[in-house]
A = this chain, B = another copy of it.
Amino acid sequence: MISVLLVGNGNVATHLHKAFLTADNIAVAQINSRKLEDIPQADIAIIAVSDDAIAEVSSKMNTYLVVHTSGACGIDELQNSKRKGVFYMLQTFSKDKEVDFSEVPFCLEAENNDDYKILEKLAKSIGKKVYQIDSKQRKALHVSAVFVNNFTNHLYKIGNDICKEHNVPFEILQPLIQETALKIESLSPEKAQTGPAIRNDKKTIKNHLDLLDKKQQKIYQILTKSIQNGN
């Protein structure tokens, strides 16, 4: 039996709490990070708070092992006096959407192998995909995630804006969006690249630029150039 104390009341803490409640051999409690006067005993504290609050909240934690859930912060952000680790799940958590933890990659880090084994056991009690990732690798993952998630979503938004402006239903593009995302599970993104940029189809590129506003043109041009330069 591992006893887990979840600190925080955001989406990550709430979804984790729900999942651990159904797991075998895990006892879980959840507390608000602003009410740390009377902290329950536990083997591990999982601090799922905003990045800025990790240092302060962790300094008040007294469990054997304290981990945070942030992709952006190193393990040294933790200020507790005992052992430290990271329990980072690379997925977006929405308030109203069920999380399928069997699909969530758990990126784990600990200061020694025994602690890593505990985190691994914890992750495998609710999930399947477990990776040992150190703070430097996690930082790279976090930046990559901004490109493939935040920036990709912004490209969807620009596509949506163009559609709206020309009275075209955006839903027409949704099968293509899904196909584009699925394609890279069997093909590297480099090999999956298609379109006027990689073909250097100047006529189509010019036609496209004519239809865009100045800000869209700038993004179109820089991404076209980047595709053509192979980086």
Contact = CB atoms under 8 A, between A and B. Distances in A.
A18 interface: no
Interface in A160-174: 160-163, 165-170, 172-174
Interface stretch (A31-39, A53-61, A115-123, A151-159): A151-159
Nearest to A94: B183
A155 B163 contact: no
A139 interface: yes
Contacts of A183: 92, 94, 153
Interface stretch (A1-9, A22-30, A101-109): A101-109
B72 A204 contact: yes
A177 B185 CA distance: 10
A179 interface: yes
Contacts of A229: 215
A90 interface: yes
Task: Indicate how many identical chains form the complex.
Answer: 2
Interface in A172-201: 172-185, 188-190, 192-198, 201
B222 A226 contact: no
Contacts of A141: 163, 166, 168, 172-173
Contacts of A193: 150, 153-154, 157
A158 B184 CA distance: 13
A175 to B, nearest CB: 5
A159 B147 contact: yes
Interface string A99-136: 00001110100000000000000000000010101001
B148 A173 contact: yes
Contact of A155 (B140, B151, B190): B151
A129 B229 CA distance: 37
A146 B173 CA distance: 10
A154 B227 contact: yes
